[in-house]
Amino acid sequence: MFFSRISGQDKVIALKVIVVSPDTASRPALEAAFGAGARFTVEFVNETLERAEGRVDASAAAVVVVYLDSGSRPELLALQRFMARTGGRVPVIVVTENFDEALARWFLQIRVTDFLRKPVEPAELVRTCIKAVEARPVGETKEAEIYTFLPAAGGVGVTTLAVETAFLLLREGKKSGATTCLVDLDFQNGSCADHLDIEPRLLLDEIVPNPERLDDQLLEMMLAHHASGLAVLAAPNRPAEMRSFQPGVVTRLLDLVSTRFDNVVIDLPRTWFPWTDDVLVGSDHFYIVTEMTVPGLRLARRLATAIRERLGDEATPKAIVNRFEQRLFGPGLRKSDVEAALGTMMAGVVSNNYRLVREAIDRGVPIEEIKAGSNVVTDMRKIIFAETGAK
């Protein structure tokens, strides 16, 4: 739609198109074509996407056009990162010299809206942009599915389960093009980045004094990316410093992340902050992680009770018992004991496989990459996809 009702009259609103292309020769013809009819304004970025991706702010664009060298792996990777960051909110049209069936399928998988082969007449490109814009429902918004993990005690493996959940959602999302972001909100002792062997890029000192500075472009710069394609929002931790700031900083971060990605996985610290309530209330799936000990089960129940008393029906926690070991004979807790202790709040158990988990953490890779179909991943899949029916 190209119209907005203002003062009882239809007024044409010029929509912004960003054209990313190192070819400056075609710029005058494109400017003339997009300028005709006053439907579009054009912003040119005269570089390859690989060089310019950090400076392409798609948040205010109606369409992004990318001229791509399909034979360049760095450019293809840059496009993949760009599509992950935009999260399907802005139509992206790719113009390339050569592509085959495999590349066309890949464009569809990463949710490229349309693709054209060079040479492309400017008028054809304009028509493609109009089609892409008009195909999007007015007021279309995307709400992320938010999975939050909170430890009942220290050392229960909450970060491992959050990381593996993010990998599960990432792999499942490749079937439909859904994107996933892992968010580490433990600013004092968070270890998501360490688990993945990547550098954390969220600079809190840059945004805490002026949270209004945080926008899509700044968020793009502060997202780290694992080799798997998983986006990660994590800050360098400061173990000797207790960070406290206005709840609006965290909620602003999560607002931006949840509009960019289809799935958001949050690793919460055990310490309760002024913004913790907002995170829990805003979560679709909320898990308390504990271990298979009597104190661990008691802590999980007490925490769940305290949260219900504090937030009422707005937050419904489920419990995951990590490092579970099935015992049929002899002393110790059995699964029936765990089920009796947790009752209806029990989401499931995750098997104890210390060597496998440790190797995955040391290598910074998903458990599935080390051993496909492991008991840990199978257990997590049952828990996370229990409501969706995915297998």
Dump the DSSP string for 75-138.
HHHHHHHHHHHHTTSS-EEEEES---HHHHHHHHHTT--EEEESS--HHHHHHHHHHHHHTSPT
What is the pLDDT tens value at each position of the chain, 391 positions in all? 222 222 333 444 467 889 999 988 888 888 888 877 556 788 899 999 988 877 887 777 889 999 999 889 899 988 988 887 776 778 899 999 887 778 887 887 788 888 888 888 988 888 888 888 877 654 444 568 999 999 999 999 999 999 999 999 999 998 888 899 999 999 999 999 999 999 999 988 888 887 767 777 788 889 999 999 999 999 998 877 777 777 778 888 888 898 889 999 999 999 999 889 889 988 999 999 999 999 999 999 999 999 999 888 767 899 999 999 876 655 678 888 888 999 999 999 999 999 999 999 999 999 999 999 999 999 999 999 986 555 5
pLDDT of residue 138: 47
**The whole model's pTM is what?**
0.65
pLDDT in tens, 3-22: 222 233 344 446 788 999 99
Give the integer Cα–Cα distance in Å for 140 and 171. Answer: 25
- Tell how far CA 111 is from the center of its chain: 15
Give the integer Cα–Cα distance in Å for 195 and 186. Answer: 14
Domains of the chain are 3-134 (3.40.50.2300), 145-384 (3.40.50.300)
pLDDT in tens, 154-185: 999 999 999 999 999 999 998 888 899 999 99
Residue 199 tokens read as 């550098």
Degrees, nearest 5: CA angle 373-378-379: 155
Nearest to 168 by CA among 375, 386, 368, 387: 368
Give the integer Cα–Cα distance in Å for 290 and 346. Answer: 11
Category of 220 on φ-ψ map: left (φ > 0), alpha (ψ -120 to 50) or beta: alpha
Contact yes or no for 89/111 (Cβ under 8 A): no
Contact yes or no for 238/187 (Cβ under 8 A): yes
pLDDT of residue 255: 82
